Amino acid sequence: MRFLVPLFAPLALALTGCAATLPPETAAAPSPTRAQGAVSSADPRATAAGEAILAQGGSATDAAIAVMLALTVVEPQSSGIGGGGFMLRADGDSDDIVTIDGRETAPAAATATRFLDAEGKVLPRETRVFSGLSVGVPGNIALAAETHEKFGKLPWAALFEPAIALARDGFVMNRRLHESLAANKGRADKTEAARATFFGADGEPLPIGATLTVPALADTFAALAAAGPQAMYGADAAAGLAAYVAGETPQDGAMTAADVTAYDAKLRKPVCVRYRVYRVCGMGPPSSGGVAVGQMLGQLERFDLAALGPDSPRFWHLFVESQRLAYADRELYLADADFVEVPVAGLVDPAYMASRSALISSTSALAKVEAGTPPGAPLARGDGPEEPENGTTHFAVADAEGNAVSYTSTVEGAFGSGLYWNGFYLNNELTDFTLTPEADDKPVANRVEGGKRPRSSMAPTIVYDADGRVVLVIGAAGGPTIPVQVARAIIGVVDFGLTAEAALGLPFIMSFGDVVVIEEGLLEAMENDLKALGHGNIRTSGAPLKANALRRLPGGGWEAAVDPRLKGKLDYE
Pairwise CA distance, residues 326 & 328, whole Å: 6
Instruction: Assign residue 166 a region (left: φ > 0; alpha: ψ between -120 and 50; beta: otherwise).
Output: alpha
Specify whether the CB–CB gap between 203 and 182 falls below 8 A: no
Specify whether the CB–CB gap between 384 and 436 falls below 8 A: yes
Biggest CA–CA distance in the chain, Å, is: 64
Specify whether the CB–CB gap between 411 and 478 falls below 8 A: no
Provide CB contacts within 8 A for 321, sequence distance 6+: 359, 360, 361, 365, 366
- From the list 461, 459, 347, 458, the residue with the least C-alpha distance to 412 is 458
Specify whether the CB–CB gap between 497 and 276 falls below 8 A: no
The C-alpha angle with vertex 240 and arms to 239 and 242, in degrees rounded to 5, equals: 65
Specify whether the CB–CB gap between 434 and 385 falls below 8 A: yes
Helix (H) or strand (E) holding 141: helix 140-151
Q: Could you tell me the sign of the dihedral formed by the alpha carbons of 36, 44, 410, 33, in that order?
A: negative
Told to judge if 408 belongs to the known catalytic residues of this protein, a careful annotator would answer no
Question: Could you please report the per-residue DSSP string of 183-197?
Answer: HTTTTTTSSHHHHHH
Q: What's CA 503's distance to the chain center, in Å?
A: 18
Question: Could you please report the per-residue DSSP string of 413-441?
Answer: STTTTS-EETTEEPP-GGGGS-SSSEETT
Pairwise CA distance, residues 523 & 518, whole Å: 6
Phi, psi of 97 (to 5 degrees): -135, 135
Number of neighbours of residue 95 by Cβ within 10 angstroms: 14
Pairwise CA distance, residues 371 & 358, whole Å: 14
Buried-state track 99-121, b at ≥16 Cβ within 10 A, e below 16: bbbbbbbbbbebbbbbbbeeeee
Phi, psi of 83 (to 5 degrees): -125, -150
Specify whether the CB–CB gap between 38 and 398 falls below 8 A: yes
Q: Could you tell me the sign of the dihedral formed by the alpha carbons of 507, 32, 90, 466, in that order?
A: positive
Helix (H) or strand (E) holding 544: none
Question: Could you please report the per-residue DSSP string of 368-416?
Answer: -------TTPPS--B--EEPPP---EEEEEE-TTS-EEEEEEE-SSTTT
In this structure, the dihedral spanned by the alpha carbons of residues 487, 349, 325 and 455, taken in order and rounded to 10 degrees, is -70
Helix (H) or strand (E) holding 224: helix 215-227
Active-site option among 392, 408, 461, 499: 392
What residues act catalytically?
392
